[in-house]
Amino acid sequence: MEKIFPKPLKKGDKIAIISPAGSVEPTQLEKGIEMIKSKGYEPVLGENLYTKFSNGYNYAGTETERLKDMNWALNDNEISAVWASRGGYGCQHLLESLNLKEFSKNPKWYIGYSDNTVIQSYLLKKGFASIHGQTIKTSSFGVTEESYDLLFDILKGKKPNYSLKSYQFNKKGNVQGELIGGNLALVYALLGTKYSFDFKDKILFIEDIGENFYALDRMIMSLELAGVFNKIKGLIVGGMTNMGDEKENKQYEESFDEFAYKLISDRISKYDFPVIFGFPNGHIKDNRPLIIGAEIKVKVEDKVKIEF
């Protein structure tokens, strides 16, 4: 299927801000909203952006309320991009009732990461690219200015290219293919459903936060048992933050967790595709955007290059 890329934004265009998953406080979005204005765009706040609904988790409203904001943002022809306030949990609730009637006629960028991975998988199944990048809410670890600048470059029509240092667990090789993936927990959660990514001949990106090492291994094992590693052409591993038992494994609290990387590396050692570790995207400060659905060229040698 030919992938559809939304048209570039121009100054004055409206960007909808919605909360499809976890709840947020107004103070947590102030800086991001002002940044959108400073770049020359008009932020438009979803009706339930700051709504709260507690049901075993603090959601940004009921499923009906969150779905209302999502379908409004996707289909309102005055909106040129949709930017998630945060992730958390809750996007899966919306999948069965998403409406792309007007969106299909006037595609727009959807921006987010973490739990938003399921929305991006849904859009890709329909043929639309999206941006796996920083949400409006800046987490406790902060966000670099360059991460946001690169995201705005994509909105303006520019595609990123990345050069990285080599990492000890990298597996060398050159490959070209379509980029898929996002948060590992959500890639894993969608396995076996009609909303799962199509892994055939794709380059898979994964990142995660706050998982015990056995849970990480379980997710990687599930991907293996589902045949994912027999299908993909390459793997890119981003941030693995606060993994393991934090009380016993303080040495593993870096954004690029060495033990988590070794665990993944060991599991995929029998497969013959290029692998990049340490890509700056995920629940980390240096969260540089990726375009899900874009064709990329990956070169993994002494230095690493990714070209969109």
pLDDT at residue 54, rounded to an integer: 98
Does the pLDDT of residue 122 top 50, yes or no? yes
Domain co-membership, 284 together with 186: yes
pLDDT at residue 254, rounded to an integer: 63
How large is the average pLDDT for residues 92-98? 98
Domain co-membership, 94 together with 142: yes
Output the pTM of the full model.
0.96
Domain co-membership, 300 together with 170: yes
The residue annotated as part of the active site, out of 19, 132, 139, 283, is 283
Does the pLDDT of residue 251 top 90, yes or no? no
Q: Determine phi and psi for 88, rounding to 5 degrees.
A: 105, -110
On whether residue 189 sits in a domain, the answer given is: yes
When pLDDT is cut at 50, 70 and 90, the band that residue 175 belongs to is very high
Distance (Å, whole) CA 238 – CA 183: 9
Does the pLDDT of residue 267 top 90, yes or no? yes
Domain co-membership, 206 together with 287: yes
- Out of 103, 132, 155, a domain closes at 155
The residue annotated as part of the active site, out of 80, 147, 207, 211, is 207
Domain co-membership, 166 together with 291: yes
CATH number at residue 261: 3.50.30.60
Q: What does the block give as tokens for 270? A: 């029998």
Strands of 210-261 (E only): list them.
234-241
The residue annotated as part of the active site, out of 19, 80, 114, 255, is 114
When pLDDT is cut at 50, 70 and 90, the band that residue 249 belongs to is very low
Domain co-membership, 254 together with 142: no
Residue 133's nearest CA partner among 294, 23, 263, 297 is: 294
pLDDT tens for each residue of 222-244: 999 999 999 999 999 999 999 98
When pLDDT is cut at 50, 70 and 90, the band that residue 142 belongs to is confident
pLDDT at residue 1, rounded to an integer: 79
Distance (Å, whole) CA 237 – CA 258: 12
Does the pLDDT of residue 290 top 90, yes or no? yes
Sole residue written with tokens 């990345």 = 162
On whether residue 4 sits in a domain, the answer given is: no
Domain co-membership, 277 together with 195: yes
On whether residue 7 sits in a domain, the answer given is: no
Does the pLDDT of residue 252 top 50, yes or no? no
When pLDDT is cut at 50, 70 and 90, the band that residue 266 belongs to is very high
Does the pLDDT of residue 177 top 60, yes or no? yes
When pLDDT is cut at 50, 70 and 90, the band that residue 245 belongs to is confident
Q: What is the mean pLDDT of the chain?
A: 95
pLDDT at residue 262, rounded to an integer: 97
Is position 114 annotated as part of the catalytic site? yes
How large is the average pLDDT for residues 176-181? 98
When pLDDT is cut at 50, 70 and 90, the band that residue 131 belongs to is very high
Q: Determine phi and psi for 72, rounding to 5 degrees.
A: -60, -50
How large is the average pLDDT for residues 161-166? 96
Is position 178 annotated as part of the catalytic site? no
- Out of 103, 122, 155, a domain closes at 155
Domain co-membership, 90 together with 61: yes
pLDDT at residue 246, rounded to an integer: 54
Expressed as residue numbers, the domain containing 241 is 161-307
Question: Going by C-beta distance under 8 Å and a sequence separation of 6 or more, which residues neighbour residue 92?
Answer: 115, 118, 186, 189
Amino acid present at 153 = D
Domain co-membership, 151 together with 181: no
pLDDT at residue 139, rounded to an integer: 74
Is position 93 annotated as part of the catalytic site? no
- Out of 96, 128, 155, a domain closes at 155
Does the pLDDT of residue 147 top 80, yes or no? yes
Domains contained in the chain, number = 2
Distance (Å, whole) CA 130 – CA 123: 8
